[in-house]
Every structure is written in structure tokens, then in C-alpha cells.
Amino acid sequence: MDQEKRIMLAFALSLGVLLVWRLYFFKPVPPPPKTAQPAPTLPAARPALDRKAPVPAQLPITEGRQPQQIVIDGGDLYQVTLDTQGAVVKSWILKKYRDEKEDLLDVVNRPACEQLGFPMSLDLVDPNLSRKLNTAVYVATPGQTQVKAPATVEFVYSDGEIQARKKLSFGAD
């Protein structure tokens, strides 16, 4: 038997095995049972006087007094400067890298950030709320201005109606 006939025979046998396999070993999936769904009922209309506006929950007021800088020292790897005004990253220096001026490399581009926003700033649908949260003075925990990595810094701001919380963790590596 030549090579072409063997290939045709192999295809025919494979197809036969697949068809027999499907007939005996696969069970068809039954369609999901159809259940009658009750028609949605509309609640009875009440006079407008009975409805009370929901009372928003009162949050504790948490505001910083003055903006301050918090420096996270990552040993010989990095140094991050955080600002409590807006709870943003002001600089992130990589100590093992140099820029074109042979200064330590700061990966935060300050001129671009002044136009577009600093890292960790908030961009919300409501521009007034974004502006408020990005200019507010947050309370930082821990309250130190110099922190060695590994460390976690948490920023909290609340005016009694809105609360914003940012939590940053820094490793030693």
C-alpha cells in the first residue's frame, strides 16, 4: 500500500473513532428549565410627605494642621518623599541610578506633575471633589518625618462628609 492510501485510511479511522466516541461517551446537555417569572409589581405610591431623605452618616473630622514632608529611606536603593498635602509622592529617588547630569535619578518629573498631578493624586468624576482631596492636608500615620523601610504609611482625611484614605507600603528591597 502506498503512502497516500495509508494517510487516507488513517484519517477515515480517526474520524470513525471520534464519531463513535461522541455517540457513546458524551451526553447532551439538557436545556435549562424554563420557569415562569412573576411580573414585577410596582410599590404603591405614597404621598411625598411620608418619604424622608436618608440621613448621611457622620464621619469623624480628620484634618492635618500644616503640610509636612515624610521621607522614606530605603537604604542604598531609594528615597521617597511624600507630602501630607494631597497625600502624594513628591519625589522618588533611585540611589543606584544617575540621570544625564549625573545626579541621582528622580523618577518623578516635577514639571509634568505640576500640570498633570503628582503620583497618588486622585482624579474623580467630580472635579471640585478631586481638587478638594488633592489640596487637603492629610493626617499621616506614623507621625514621623523620617521613616526607614520596611514601613507602611497611611494618610487619612475627612471633613465629616467625605473620607479619603491612602495606604502605602515600602519594602527594604
Tell me which residue range forms the domain holding 91: 69-170
Catalogue the E-assigned strands of 32-172: 69-73, 78-83, 88-98, 104-106, 139-141, 146-148, 151-158, 163-170
Distance set, CA 98 to CA 71, 106, 170 (Å): 20, 9, 22
Question: What pLDDT score was predicted for residue 36?
Answer: 63
Among 15-19, 35-39, 108-112, the range scoring the smallest mean pLDDT is 35-39
Q: Kindly state the cell numbers that stand for 24.
A: 457513546
Question: What pLDDT score was predicted for residue 42?
Answer: 57
Q: Domain total for the chain?
A: 1
Question: What pLDDT score was predicted for residue 23?
Answer: 78
Q: Which of 99, 100, 70, 104 has its CA nearest to residue 84? A: 70
Q: Are 146 and 71 in contact (CB under 8 A)?
A: yes
Asked if the structure places residue 16 within a domain, the reply is no
Taking the C-alpha atoms of residue 25 and residue 28, their distance in angstroms, rounded to an integer, is: 10
Question: What pLDDT score was predicted for residue 33?
Answer: 76
Asked if the structure places residue 77 within a domain, the reply is yes
Question: What pLDDT score was predicted for residue 25?
Answer: 75
Question: What pLDDT score was predicted for residue 13?
Answer: 93
Asked if the structure places residue 27 within a domain, the reply is no
Asked if the structure places residue 78 within a domain, the reply is yes
Q: Kindly state the cell numbers that stand for 87.
A: 497625600
Among 31-45, 96-110, 141-155, the range scoring the smallest mean pLDDT is 31-45
